[in-house]
Chain A
Amino acid sequence: MPVYWGDLNVGDNFVTTQSLTLTRDDILEFAAEFDPQPYHLDKEAAENSIFGGLCASGWQVSALMMRLLTDTLHEREIAILGVASVQQVRWKLPVFVDDSLDAQVTITDSNEASGQPGVGTVDVNVEVTNQNQAPVISVQNRLLIAHAPTEAAHAR
């Protein structure tokens, strides 16, 4: 049964059931394509940098946040249409080789989407933690969620 905008409430909380583990190859592959800086490509350079070791690009960590969020929404059959915006991203700790990531997703606000019949917005705070339960990234997303089909027909 799909879960629509009207079924979601402020305060609802979802936790990922499947952790994502980041290998050295995952980090190197993303860095080679999108962020070829020494601290994401080279062990020694990384150890001498502000990060203290080979770590994932912050943009890879953001993308992994999206993957964890997407998996969580799919698992619950939530009718996501897209992401409208991101109010804030905070990178809190580097993500190192073999770190294992989980996400806690909390709904903080819910509104009708202006000018878009049949669509609502839901603000979700996503906290991604590593295997030591330390927060690595915190992201406030505004998601577009479909109304239940009858509600959509009524709104038109």
Chain B
Amino acid sequence: MHDRPYIRSRWFEDIPVGEFHVFGSHTFSELEIIEFGKKYAPEVYHTDPVAALDTYHRGIIASGWHLTAVWMRMMVDYMEHFARGVQDGRRNGAGLGLQDLEWFEPVRPGHTLIYTYEIIEKSDKVVRDKWGIIKSRNEAFNQYNNKVMSFTIDILAERNPESLS
């Protein structure tokens, strides 16, 4: 029995500042690090495990944009899980922008990241007559519990029409 709204079916007004989620984890294989690197960041330290040993990074590491792409996948899977069959409840919208994206430690083949987010701010601004803006702080930690990535992001969430009338 669920007496609270599903995550994805909530209006902007229903999402509280301070809400915190541990929403996914992913282990990065050497193969997927190389595949992503070849397409989007073809530096030897992302694509060639041997040549990478002689670089600044002393071995192959995942592209920082690979870590954010997996962040998105973890988020979608988490939202789907909590949507539980709600077909028309998609009240989250596009991302507008992000700030202060930092990579603190390299992610090497076999490393596992745990992703978290916290709602930190809700703007009063109304976008295109129906959307509110939610800011969250997002972090990823590796298997040694060291923070490897952090950023904040602004995402649209649909306003409750009653609050706008």
* Total residues of chain A contacting the partner, CB 8 A: 35
A2 within 8 Å of B (CB atoms): no
Interface SS of chain A: mixed
B95 within 8 Å of A (CB atoms): yes
Q: Are B96 and A90 in contact (CB under 8 A)?
A: yes
**Whole-angstrom CA separation of A51 from B103 in the bound complex:** 30
B:58-90 near A, CB below 8 Å = 63-66, 68-73, 76, 90
A86 within 8 Å of B (CB atoms): yes
Residues of A within 8 A of B70 (CB): 34
A:108-125 near B, CB below 8 Å = 119
Beyond A63-B65, A144-B56, is A83–B76 a contact (Cβ under 8 Å)?
no
**Whole-angstrom CA separation of A35 from B153 in the bound complex:** 16
Q: Are A58 and B69 in contact (CB under 8 A)?
A: no
Q: Which residue of B lies closest to A58 (CB)?
A: B95
Interface SS of chain B: mixed
Q: Are A63 and B69 in contact (CB under 8 A)?
A: yes
**Whole-angstrom CA separation of A80 from B44 in the bound complex:** 11
Q: Are B94 and A66 in contact (CB under 8 A)?
A: no
A82 touches which one: B42, B57, B95, B151 (CB < 8 A)? B57
B93 within 8 Å of A (CB atoms): yes
B97 within 8 Å of A (CB atoms): yes
Q: Are A59 and B98 in contact (CB under 8 A)?
A: no
B103 touches which one: A63, A64, A84, A146 (CB < 8 A)? A84
Q: Which residue of B lies closest to A30 (CB)?
A: B69
Residues of A within 8 A of B (CB): 30, 33-38, 50-51, 57-60, 62-64, 66-67, 70, 74, 80-91, 119, 144, 146
Task: Kindly list 20 other residue pairs between chains A and B, CB separation below 8 angstroms, not including A50-B128, A63-B41.
Answer: A33-B73, A50-B93, A50-B156, A57-B69, A59-B72, A62-B65, A63-B39, A63-B63, A63-B66, A70-B42, A70-B43, A74-B42, A80-B43, A82-B45, A82-B57, A86-B101, A87-B100, A88-B98, A91-B97, A146-B56
